[in-house]
Structure formats: C-alpha cells, structure tokens
C-alpha cells in the first residue's frame, strides 16, 4: 500500500451507486426548479407549450444520450468488488464535461436570452437527468437487496 493511499476516500460500489444516482437526481431537480420559476414569472407565455417542448426533448436526451452514459458508468462500477475512490462514480474526463456544463449554465442564466426560452433547455436537461438517475437507483436497490 502506497503512503498516500490511506488518505484516499475509498468507498464500496453501493456508495458509488448512491452518490451517482443522488447527484443526478439533485441536479435534475435543481434545473427543473429554475425552469418552473422562470415559466411562472413569464408574462403572456403559454407555459404548457414551453414545458411540453422541454419534456419531449428530455425524453430524447434521456434515451439517446444520458442512458448511454449511465450504462458506461455502471459497467465500470459494478464489476469491482474492492473499495474505490469516492469520486470514481464517473471517469475523470466527465468532470471536465460537468465543469463545462456548469459554465455554460451560468453564462446562459446571465445572458439576454429570455428565461422562458431557457426553461425549455433546463426542463430538457433536468428531466433527462432525473429519468436517467432511475437506472442508478434501481441498480443501487438491487445491490442492497443482493447483500442482505
């Protein structure tokens, strides 16, 4: 064992599954809260049309984008039985993508784009994250049941 390994925050795969699913759920709900508040504040806007467009887009993003990412992460997490680093629920390259997405979200929120249009994007990404997190949660629950 290397000297610095004892300082590594090592956890089981059950914890990694819980963290991944929990993070995707929390971020998804946060984005939906932004979108809902923007739609409620928007005057003279057909909210259901904007929300509906966001929901339809979310189904596509969930199915054709995020599920592939979840499956890659699960195929990396599940085979390992020893403890792994707390942050290994996603590969390090994904952290760069997350930083880019945070930066883009911040730029968009502070841009001149009307918030009710941004609500479509936020509903799309937020709902897609929540729907995809269900796979993490199901896998987490299966692992819990398997261990008991």
> So what's the pLDDT on residue 6?
73
Q: Where are the domains of the chain?
A: 9-147
- Given a cut of 80, whether residue 130 has pLDDT beyond it is yes
- Given a cut of 80, whether residue 9 has pLDDT beyond it is yes
Exposed / middle / buried, residue 48 (Cβ in 10 Å: 0-12, 13-18, 19+): exposed
Distance between CA 96 and CA 110 in Å, rounded?
Answer: 21
> So what's the pLDDT on residue 2?
72
> So what's the pLDDT on residue 125?
96
One DSSP character per residue, 3-56 reads GGGGGS-EE-HHHHHHHHHHHHHHHHHHHHHHHHHHHHH-TT--HHHHHHHHHH
DSSP letter at 84?
Answer: E
Over residues 19-34, the mean pLDDT reads: 96
Token code pair at residue 125: 């990404």
Over residues 49-66, the mean pLDDT reads: 97
Question: Mean pLDDT over all residues of the chain?
Answer: 93
- pTM to 2 decimals? 0.90
Contact 119, 58 (CB under 8 A): no
């Amino acid at each position: 064992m290397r000297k610095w390994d004892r300082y590594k925050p090592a956890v089981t795969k059950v914890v990694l599954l819980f963290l991944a699913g929990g993070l995707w759920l929390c971020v998804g709900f946060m984005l939906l809260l932004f979108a809902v508040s923007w739609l409620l504040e928007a005057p003279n806007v057909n909210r259901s049309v904007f929300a509906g467009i966001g929901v339809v887009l979310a189904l596509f993003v969930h199915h054709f984008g995020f599920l592939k990412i979840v499956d890659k992460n699960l195929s990396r997490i599940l085979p390992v039985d020893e403890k792994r680093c707390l942050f290994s629920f996603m590969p390090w390259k994904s952290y760069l993508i997350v930083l880019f997405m945070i930066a883009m979200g911040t730029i968009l929120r502070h841009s001149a784009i009307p918030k009710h249009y941004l609500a479509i994007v936020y509903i799309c990404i937020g709902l897609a994250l929540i729907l995809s997190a269900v796979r993490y949660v199901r896998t987490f629950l299966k692992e819990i049941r398997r261990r008991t």
